[in-house]
Amino acid sequence: MAAIKKILVANRGEIALRVMRSAREMGIKTVAVFSDADRAMPFVRYADEAIHIGASPSSQSYLVAEKIIDAAKKTKADAIHPGYGFLSENESFAGKVKKAGIIFIGPNAKSIRMMGNKLSAKEIAKKLKVPLVPGTEKAVSDVKQALKEAKRIGYPVLLKAAAGGGGKGMRVVNKEPELHSQMERAQSEALSSFGDDSVFIEKYISSPRHIEIQILADEHGNVVHLFERECSIQRRHQKLIEEAPSAVMTESLREKMGECAVAVAKACNYTSAGTVEFLVDEMLDFYFLEMNTRLQVEHPVTEMITGIDLVKEQIRIAQGEKLSFKQEDLKIRGHAIELRVNAEDPSNDFLPNVGFLKTYRKPCGAGVRVDDGYEEGMNIPIYYDPMIAKLITHGRDRDEAMCRMTRAIEEYHITGMKTTLPFGSFMMSHREFRKGNLSTRFIDQYFSPEKLLSNDKNEEQVAALIAAWMVQNNNHHKNVNAKPAFANASAGKPETVKSRWKQNRLNFEL
């Protein structure tokens, strides 16, 4: 297959920029497509060419396959990279791209279909003897049948949209009287989000870890896994903090889960980058959850610990190249953590808080990476996901990665809206998080808005202490015998800003 010369990126924001940067390093031209709301976005300016594809709602722009394919034809792009979200896991889109004679940088339509539906994916996993959470093997639409299956499995159970993801069409049912109403809600949301109201039922594991395995597969039958990512810190079934590797992973468990992920990929003749997701219980028993047939939002943590650019690998695979490395060549180097910096208010149930980026100054320094798509003075539009950026830190071990994340959060200045940065600070100082005691229920168990308000008050006290210290320092030359402004009278010794700050940081560890 001939080398790709021009890639149209069928996405927006930070992932569009991220793909374009890797393409530029490879000497490949890029094309941006944009909606009305994104006309002035950095990714539009960064691309070599840009094509307007419609109004701001994604249903009139980024989700219209024909407009995207037409833009590729007009600009003579020979490949399309879908990023994540939007049409990235749409088998019809992948098929149309191929039919138009354009390379789709991702898996083929058949693989997307096989793994895109959770029921068919579970059937493949079952044949491979990959451990599964007990549940129904077929979609359930009748309430009587659902009641029967739930009783067989045992409460609590989880209702999940067969064709969906991202927490949509998902409901926990703790007891029988709740099932009817929760099933109606799950089906309605599934139909609205995915055009398919089929749901299935599985046993609800109350406090699992969400651990996923990154895979790469070429067209020559070579498949490798690039270790695991811990994605347990979630709200409303959507991830907020991810890290690699997992703090609880053993070499034996990593090998078993990696082998299962590779087997699942081979079973559907998978190519490109993909992720096989698992639930891991308190006994470290793991169960197949699903496969995401695209690049993941959290892919940077894998890149940081392996040194491999996953987007470049996707492009090379799409060109028909073989993987240039084998499983035994891959090594884990240090630890990486990612915080999703969302325009959300953690003190108000993480509800979207989009608005105007009055101040936007990002951190830098050793071990810090920021994947973002906005600039100071821009609006965060209401039409799309409220993610502003991904803040990633890397260190020689987990402690150093957490320390760098704490420092990076402190350096990250955003005003004009609420963000998840204070939540990230809370997490980095929380005892259980620092110990690596994580589960998908972590936020429910340990976080509340009052915790952030407490942090704010402590930080205000520290700011006042620093101001007092600065005043005292300035006056020192005028009166060398002056006592510190915040001397501890009872102890007879000055209480330094550093010691008070240390105490306040301890107060954060709730």
Positions marked catalytic? 294
DSSP β-ladder status, 79-81 and 103-104: parallel
**Cα separation of the two ends of the chain:** 57
- Strands 209-217 and 223-235, how do they pair? antiparallel
Please give the structure tokens belonging to residue 24: 């530029």
Q: Could you give the maximum distance between any two Cα atoms of the chain, in Å?
A: 84
Cα Rg of the chain (Å, integer): 25
Strand partners, 352: 344
* Tokens 């963000």, located at residue: 419
Amino acid sitting at position 340 = R
What is d(CA 311, CA 303) in angstroms, rounded to the nearest whole number? 10
For residue 135 the two structure tokens come to 């549940």
CB 224 within 8 A of CB 276: no
Of 140, 304, 127, nearest to 226 by C-alpha is 304
* Residue 66, both tokens: 């024909």
Query: What CA–CA distance (Å, rounded) separates 64 from 358?
Result: 32
Quick one: how far is CA 502 from the chain centroid? Answer: 32
How remote is the C-alpha of 409 from its chain's centroid?
A: 17
Q: CA–CA separation, 243 vs 364, rounded Å?
A: 19
Contact by Cβ (8 Å): 115, 45: no
H-helix or E-strand containing 481?
Answer: none
**Nearest-CA neighbor of 296 among 435, 479, 106?**
106
| Rounded CA separation 225/276 (Å) | 10
Cβ–Cβ under 8 Å, residues 119 and 200: yes
Q: What is the dihedral of CA 440, 389, 90, 68, to 10 degrees?
A: 170
Count each helix (H run) and each strand (E run) in the chain, helices first. 17, 22
**Contact by Cβ (8 Å): 314, 79:** no
Decide if 406 contacts 399 (C-beta within 8 A). no
Q: Which of 455, 467, 473, 448 is nearest to 410 (CA)?
A: 455
Residue 396: enclosing H or E segment and its boundaries? none
Does the bond joining 156 to the residue before it have cis omega, within 30 degrees of 0?
Answer: yes
